[in-house]
């Protein structure tokens, strides 16, 4: 089976105002022949404007989270349908900042993945261990458990990716060694094949956590790394393009 097309996705988290759309446009303008799919996931309120600003470009636009319900009395929340209606084609789900900060369990994430699929969105499902879990030797068990629990069977035959984001590497400047990244990605691949058969080999497994232009080439060339989920470095066009060009 051919290797999946790499995906480099930028997660803007709770950053970005209307003026930040200039960075997104600079990213689109600088992509040229990059051998990857490229996505930006801005805050929901910017999504529609970003989708319009990037219309006709190669940059895909995605959401950062949504509820599992399609509509209803959920003050302040948004649905997958709303993200799709605003121009999103992807969505990040199960980010550790949602799991830890909003009490999301694997079951919550799996329900949201189902909602994303019903809305026609391509999920990027995040998993990752805490520093305590890694120190206790539990990283592989935690991550593969999250993969099994967060990916519902209805993903079979649908496009999606998994992002391995060690919690301790997010926003810290710390990264695992390349053998550590490869070990976890191989374990995720084996789990995906166990769940989805040979189709599990075509799922891109992204790495996320302190990816920047200076370490991107080393990380992106690790076996079984199929792209990156980039936080801070996706906010500046030069940094994000430096990562895309490292492929």
Q: Which is nearer to ligand 13P, 190 or 247 (CB)?
A: 247
Question: How near is the Cβ of 166 to ligand 13P at its closest, in Å?
Answer: 10
Question: How near is the Cβ of 228 to ligand 13P at its closest, in Å?
Answer: 8
> What positions carry a catalytic annotation?
95, 165
For the stretch 17-22, contacts whose Cβ atoms lie closer than 8 Å and that sit 24 or more positions apart, written own/partner, are 17/46, 18/46, 18/49, 20/46, 20/235, 21/46, 21/49, 21/50, 21/53
Residue 245: both structure tokens together: 């060009």
Q: Which is nearer to ligand 13P, 79 or 210 (CB)?
A: 210
Q: Which is nearer to ligand 13P, 87 or 208 (CB)?
A: 208
Q: Which is nearer to ligand 13P, 167 or 196 (CB)?
A: 167
Distance in angstroms (rounded) separating the CA atoms of residues 34 and 140: 32
Distance in angstroms (rounded) separating the CA atoms of residues 145 and 148: 5
Q: Which is nearer to ligand 13P, 151 or 235 (CB)?
A: 235
Where on the chain is the footprint of ligand 13P (CB under 6 A)?
11, 95, 165, 170-171, 208-211, 229-233
Using Cβ positions, the residue closest to ligand 13P within the complex turns out to be 231
Question: How near is the Cβ of 97 to ligand 13P at its closest, in Å?
Answer: 7
Return all residues near 49 (Cβ < 8 A) that are at least 6 apart.
Answer: 18, 21
Asked whether 209 and 166 are in contact (CB, 8 A), the reply is yes
């Amino acid at each position: 089976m051919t290797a999946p097309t790499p995906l480099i996705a930028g997660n803007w988290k709770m950053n970005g105002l209307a003026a930040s759309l200039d960075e997104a446009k600079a990213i689109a303008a600088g992509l040229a022949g990059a051998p990857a799919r490229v996505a930006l996931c801005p805050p929901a309120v910017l999504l529609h404007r970003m989708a319009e600003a990037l219309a006709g470009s190669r940059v895909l636009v995605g959401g950062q989270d949504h509820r599992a319900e399609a509509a209803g009395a959920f003050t302040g929340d948004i649905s997958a349908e709303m993200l799709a209606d605003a121009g999103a084609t992807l969505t990040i789900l199960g980010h550790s900042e949602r799991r830890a900060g909003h009490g999301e369990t694997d079951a919550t994430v799996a329900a949201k993945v189902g909602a994303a699929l019903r809305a026609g969105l391509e999920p990027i499902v995040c998993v990752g261990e805490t520093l305590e879990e890694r120190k206790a030797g539990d990283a592989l068990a935690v991550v593969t458990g999250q993969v099994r629990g967060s990916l519902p069977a209805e993903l079979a035959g649908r496009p999606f990716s998994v992002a391995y984001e060690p919690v301790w590497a997010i926003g810290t400047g710390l990264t695992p060694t390349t053998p550590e990244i490869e070990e976890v990605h191989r374990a995720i691949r084996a789990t995906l094949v166990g769940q989805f058969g040979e189709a599990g080999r075509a799922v891109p497994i992204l790495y996320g956590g302190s990816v920047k232009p200076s370490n991107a080439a080393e990380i992106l060339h690790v076996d079984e790394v199929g792209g990156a989920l980039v936080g801070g470095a996706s906010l500046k066009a030069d940094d994000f393009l430096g990562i895309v060009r490292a492929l």
